[in-house]
């Protein structure tokens, strides 16, 4: 994993645990950019969720990213 991915993952994980249950709100509240940061953020935000617990609008993306990063 890159430093950018890890920074995003940590930010997403923190946001989900302590700030909000809305991933879009959490992302928009931060000054983050870049594909790896975003992908890390999404995976961090939903890291404690089972796939069927993730809202429909994000489930396919999370499943795809988990396949890439968590193999």
The domain ranges of the chain are: 3-69
How much is the pTM?
Answer: 0.92
- Tens of pLDDT along the chain (71 residues)? 799 999 999 999 999 999 999 999 999 999 899 999 999 999 999 999 999 999 999 999 999 999 998 76
Nearest to 36 by CA among 13, 58, 4, 7: 4
- Which conformational region is residue 34 in: left (phi greater than 0), alpha (psi within -120 to 50 degrees), or beta? left
């Amino acid at each position: 994993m890159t430093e950018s991915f890890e920074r995003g993952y940590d930010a997403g994980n923190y946001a989900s645990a302590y700030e909000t249950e809305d991933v879009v709100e959490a992302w928009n509240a931060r000054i983050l950019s870049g594909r790896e940061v975003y992908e890390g953020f999404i995976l961090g935000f939903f890291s404690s969720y089972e796939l069927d617990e993730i809202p429909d609008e994000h489930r396919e993306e999370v499943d795809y990213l988990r396949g890439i990063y968590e193999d």
